[in-house]
């Protein structure tokens, strides 16, 4: 709004800001809706495993203890896990809460958050998703400001503030300095080494053709579509993965219970 007032195009900035906000809200709503099923599966998996290891396995152990037979290694491992959860389950929960709280406090420090965001970008799938989302936000905001008559350097300073990744925000600040010194936008972003090649090519094309605003808008749409597609793929894989984990864990516990029973029947025969 401050940039729109200074450029005399407040109405245009507000209209585009409304469109941008609606698009972001729609994308966020889709992600939240897609997360419902995987989260339910994850919670059910934890509850089922906790119930089996905390209540079912200890009762079965009593029967095995009375038989005084040598138990298979799988059964011993499951029993040991069950004993550990029963004895230290509450402590584990408390420790997880403390660790999560500690990590959150540590990430409040600018240096720690900067290093964390930098490592996020190097991760295979999460890094691509973070880079795509932040690039879309940056390109869309820069397009709004540039088309509203805001000077490129000022627009880059403002657009850089919308980035949630502090490492990319730092790289945009460095690119802004290079642009203020006379470098091109595409060349300055390319030197940072953190922006997608497709974005750099489209920005360079926009600069050479004089249609930078339109190219930035296209970059924002393409990057957001890629990020949404990747998010949908990850969410679609998360549900079946939870089913596999839950089925595998239950199967392991059932086999750990059945193996001693089978061995006991063979001894009786």
d(CA 206, CA 154): 19
pLDDT number for residue 68: 63
Spell out a b/e string for 97-112, using b for 16 or more CB atoms within 10 Å of the CB, else e. eeeeeeeeeeeeeeee
Domain 8-268: CATH superfamily, name plus number? Type II secretion system (T2SS), domain F (1.20.81.30)
Residue given tokens 């993965």 in the structure block: 241
Contact 56, 258 (CB under 8 A): no
Half-sphere CA count of 76, side-chain side, radius 13 A: 5
pLDDT tens across the length of the chain (269 residues): 765 665 566 776 677 678 767 877 777 777 777 777 778 877 887 888 777 777 777 777 666 666 666 777 887 787 787 778 777 878 888 998 999 898 888 888 888 888 888 888 888 888 888 888 888 888 888 888 887 777 888 888 888 888 888 898 898 988 889 888 888 888 888 888 888 888 888 888 888 888 888 888 888 888 888 887 887 787 778 778 878 888 888 888 888 777 777 766 655 54
pLDDT number for residue 150: 78
Residue 195 DSSP code: S
Question: Among candidates 213, 234, 231, which has minimal Cα distance to 223?
Answer: 231
d(CA 139, CA 218): 9
Contact 20, 140 (CB under 8 A): yes
């Amino acid at each position: 709004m401050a940039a729109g007032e200074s450029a005399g195009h407040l109405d245009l900035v507000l209209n585009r800001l409304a469109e941008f906000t609606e698009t972001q809200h729609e994308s966020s709503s889709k992600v939240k809706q897609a997360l419902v099923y995987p989260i339910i599966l994850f919670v059910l998996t934890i509850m089922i495993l906790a119930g089996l290891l905390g209540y079912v396995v200890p009762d079965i152990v009593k029967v095995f203890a009375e038989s005084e037979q040598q138990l298979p290694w799988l059964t011993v491992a499951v029993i040991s896990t069950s004993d550990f959860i029963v004895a230290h389950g509450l402590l584990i929960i408390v420790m997880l809460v403390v660790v999560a709280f500690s990590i959150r406090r540590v990430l409040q420090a600018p240096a720690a958050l900067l290093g964390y965001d930098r490592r996020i970008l190097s991760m295979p799938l999460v890094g691509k998703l973070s880079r795509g989302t932040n690039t879309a936000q940056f390109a869309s905001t820069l397009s709004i400001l540039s088309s509203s008559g805001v000077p490129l350097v000022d627009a880059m300073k403002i657009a850089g503030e919308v980035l949630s990744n502090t490492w990319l925000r730092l790289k945009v600040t460095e690119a802004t300095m290079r642009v203020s010194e006379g470098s091109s936008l595409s060349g300055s972003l390319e030197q940072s080494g953190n922006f997608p090649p497709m974005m750099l090519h489209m920005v360079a094309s926009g600069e050479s053709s004089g249609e930078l605003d339109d190219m930035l808008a296209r970059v924002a749409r393409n990057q957001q579509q890629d990020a949404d597609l990747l998010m949908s793929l990850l969410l679609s894989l998360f549900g079946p993965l939870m089913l596999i984990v839950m089925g595998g864990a239950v199967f392991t516990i059932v086999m750990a219970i059945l193996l001693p029973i089978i061995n006991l029947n063979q001894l009786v025969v």
